[in-house]
Structure 1
């Protein structure tokens, strides 16, 4: 029975009353457009920075940019919430198009500003950037100047932006349209069902192995029919990106994503090195699980299958109480924040039709609020999803006193607070497990997350890296892309994974994202970093929460290496830091293997 203690429908009217027909939101958008116009006019008159006292003028522009960033974030989040709560809200679709144009214009203005600071003489820049007036935004300015070094002239960049809108980004839209139209006939005994790619993919966790296998085969066969079309799309996206990189004289295909994620290549290499070193325990887990199905290797279509079934069926009210209890055990701030989110109507969890499927957290920086979206059903995985999104909201809350320009934290740390919250809850659930079967189910849930981040995402990283290297010499056929996918699986899973989806390069949307290259390793980083932080919290207890909040607060204003050194005194370019986190997962493997044997 569903509890009534906590509301399951969020409150958006205190932000902009009236939903997609909100008069106040319409006025808000018009005013925001005027502010973007004003910023552009200001920059047209700005000129080069030639004296140290120019820092005050620079500070004024930075504050202006930060204010607009926050207002755009507020607008984008509101529209995201509208489209999620009702997928048939056409008014929200229209608003999305309007804001998308404003986002693109604002990005062009940022590039104009980056050109201005790049054209400043190096000696003058060094003096200006060290002034007290710019102390709070120094890191962002340094990053922007580094990004500007990758840009062509302003005129050439405008031309590239136009080409991206009508060509480059259009390939992404074509991909979305094509993958969305594919229908797959999946056998269900003597009958069959016509499903979308997403619906077929969801059968990976079906309780019946025959259906899981049939869905896997049907998906591969359906994608094979159109694989050359998808190969053409992927080749065109990569070809355009490589030409831009060549024009901008970028030294390596990872140059841009590393700058975007505030990471050094040494940190990325240290992380992957530790994962390579500790592959054995996870291959043992995969082999142990495979034996439960009578196989010597883990069949890809059995990986997501649950081991048994959790008997912990929690009503929404019970789930909320359990989250509040678990979060409060970590720290008072986290527990109090979560209670505030539920009490103030920040959570949308009602199980109803016409809602989007994926959970998310939307940030509203102007009002210091967040909104958490999901559809709650009475299972432990739903409780974990709720905790995960609340972790994102806690990260937003930790930054609510930060200046607008410093609130844009990178993707590399975007998943850290959410994974940390998940880990806190998973341990609490395991403590309450009363049977061997329950513990196996929960350990399997934990380990599937580890394998996904340590092995599956590693395969995505290897595939994309090798693909881009080969693409420099010409187009790759679908057959060659399948071969690269197999090679990546073999390395990432250390030969412990059988019958992988060789066409996962088709159904993985991250490869087709034209705004963010290498949209893979930041997920592993965020997960792994959260584990390392969690290991630290186990050492220090509740006193760790203060350091944790301070780390989240500074996550947009310094490099990840400096961030960790400042708040934890740790060097994340060293393998030692990462080993502390992965050892927690190795213990999970050992406990799992002990139970299955």
Structure 2
């Protein structure tokens, strides 16, 4: 196991804390900017495709400039709050700040809906509006995409109601799932002593070199999920049920329709990928059969799927993992390696395994300081070292966009691009 406790991330360069005067000032500024943006959108709604093109061009350029400023603040504050909630679901102060933030986010959602509807209304003017240099031209792709997607909006009152209900609906179910899973612990015997392991720590044992540990961890994980099956099933049904209902009300073809649009691919592309996967299944089956034989078994049990294939039982310290990632990044790109060094030196990574911390791994952008933050649960395994490198790769993507001077609207990228 690692010799040194992996680090927790530091966001004090964003705001000193949730109770700081700086964060309070940002909260007030967000309210003010949102109010001004609401007035601006109201003035836009008085214009349509028959309005004077020069006037529409002037207003849309103003809107894009002000909207980006609002999004920059909103996304920075959201990332800051999320940094506390995702790492400590026991933090009541952070939960309260999140609740306050989300109340204002309802207004943001309503504003975005009105804006999308208006852009759809003036869609015929977009070729002319984006022809001249300026914010509209810089955001031509975003404007075109919004106009195309505006056809799937419900009426304004219905969209407003959906935004308000989301707080106590799908969003509440999602937070319940996150709170339950992050606070779960399992008593597990490891290295001769019983430890209270968080679910991420237990799941990380899937790649442990000892089969007995892997099997017991698998059984303990299944039992833990079984004890929480009812609330987790309710949360899943609540989230997906809301999505299904809204997709139907918005005129979507099926549940995949909106997901395809969000990821900027068509159904033919998805079908092609699924076909390639199905055609590759025999190779994967052969691999698992070979792995079973290597382990001296007729069939591969679930707890052996992630078993290490070699004799290497090495556990990396966090310092060794850092060196491994930086050195291998350098073989590909010095810029990538230097970025990783910035992330490590700046304490951008929350790697400690602990109760209250959400499972999985992610990289989030913190646009106000043009940085990223990475969350994972480090256990010293090569699998988690690979995860560390993967998430830093997302951070490098963010860094490239920051250095290119991209706005918040321009930096929105689908998972189909981010994960490739």
Q: TM-score, normalised by structure 2?
A: 0.82
SS of 1:21's equivalent in the other structure is coil
Residue in structure 2 matched with residue 57 of structure 1 by the alignment: 59
Cα 1:308–1:87, aligned 2, differ >3 Å: closer, same or farther?
Answer: farther
Q: Show the 5 A alignment for 1:251-400.
A: 251-308=253-310, 310-349=312-351, 358-374=360-376, 376-400=378-402
SS of 1:254's equivalent in the other structure is helix
In the aligned structure 2, how far is the partner of 1:410 from the partner of 1:310? 37
In the aligned structure 2, how far is the partner of 1:177 from the partner of 1:347? 21
User: Does 2:25 align with 1:27?
Assistant: yes
Cα 1:211–1:143, aligned 2, differ >3 Å: closer, same or farther?
Answer: same
RMSD: 3.8
In the aligned structure 1, how far is the partner of 2:3 from the partner of 2:207? 28
SS of 1:405's equivalent in the other structure is coil
SS of 1:259's equivalent in the other structure is helix
- Compute the displacement of 1:152 (Å): 1.2
SS of 1:404's equivalent in the other structure is coil
In the aligned structure 2, how far is the partner of 1:140 from the partner of 1:60? 15
Residue in structure 2 matched with residue 404 of structure 1 by the alignment: 408
SS of 1:45's equivalent in the other structure is helix
- Compute the displacement of 1:286 (Å): 0.7
Residue in structure 2 matched with residue 448 of structure 1 by the alignment: none
Cα 1:370–1:100, aligned 2, differ >3 Å: closer, same or farther?
Answer: same
The Cα offsets for residues 291-344 of structure 1, whole Å up to 9 and x where unpaired, read as 234433322232123335535544444433332222121123212222333344
Cα 1:174–1:366, aligned 2, differ >3 Å: closer, same or farther?
Answer: closer
Residue in structure 1 matched with residue 125 of structure 2 by the alignment: 124
Residue in structure 1 matched with residue 13 of structure 2 by the alignment: 14
Contact 1:67 1:405 in 2 (8 A): no
Cα 1:239–1:40, aligned 2, differ >3 Å: closer, same or farther?
Answer: same
Contact 2:2 2:316 in 1 (8 A): no
Match of residue 80, structure 1, among 60, 82, 91: 82
In the aligned structure 2, how far is the partner of 1:96 from the partner of 1:229? 22
Cα 1:357–1:272, aligned 2, differ >3 Å: closer, same or farther?
Answer: closer
The Cα offsets for residues 113-140 of structure 1, whole Å up to 9 and x where unpaired, read as 01111223x5334433444432211111
Cα 1:272–1:383, aligned 2, differ >3 Å: closer, same or farther?
Answer: same
The structure with higher relative contact order (CA 8 Å, sep 6+) is 2
Residue in structure 2 matched with residue 508 of structure 1 by the alignment: none
Q: Show the 5 A alignment for 1:470-489.
A: none
Contact 1:81 1:362 in 2 (8 A): no
Q: Show the 5 A alignment for 1:205-284.
A: 205-209=207-211, 212-213=214-215, 216=218, 234-235=236-237, 237-284=239-286
- Compute the displacement of 1:35 (Å): 0.6
Residue in structure 2 matched with residue 571 of structure 1 by the alignment: none
SS of 1:362's equivalent in the other structure is strand
**Which is worse superposed, 391-400 or 196-205?**
196-205
The Cα offsets for residues 20-60 of structure 1, whole Å up to 9 and x where unpaired, read as 32221111121112111111121122223323221221121
Q: Show the 5 A alignment for 1:467-546.
A: 526=419, 530=420
Q: What is the aligned residue count?
A: 410
**Which is worse superposed, 314-323 or 255-264?**
314-323
Cα 1:76–1:44, aligned 2, differ >3 Å: closer, same or farther?
Answer: same
Contact 2:182 2:357 in 1 (8 A): no
Q: Give the unaligned 5+ runs of structure 2.
A: none
In the aligned structure 2, how far is the partner of 1:324 from the partner of 1:200? 27
In the aligned structure 2, how far is the partner of 1:3 from the partner of 1:212? 22
- Compute the displacement of 1:171 (Å): 4.0
Contact 2:325 2:389 in 1 (8 A): yes
Match of residue 113, structure 2, among 107, 111, 128: 111
Cα 1:301–1:338, aligned 2, differ >3 Å: closer, same or farther?
Answer: closer
The Cα offsets for residues 542-590 of structure 1, whole Å up to 9 and x where unpaired, read as xxxxxxxxxxxxxxxxxxxxxxxxxxxxxxxxxxxxxxxxxxxxxxxxx
User: Does 2:51 align with 1:48?
Assistant: no
Q: TM-score, normalised by structure 1?
A: 0.60
In the aligned structure 2, how far is the partner of 1:124 from the partner of 1:309? 65
Contact 1:187 1:215 in 2 (8 A): no
- Compute the displacement of 1:71 (Å): 1.3
Q: Give the unaligned 5+ runs of structure 1.
A: 415-525, 531-597
In the aligned structure 1, how far is the partner of 2:337 from the partner of 2:185? 45
Contact 2:200 2:353 in 1 (8 A): no
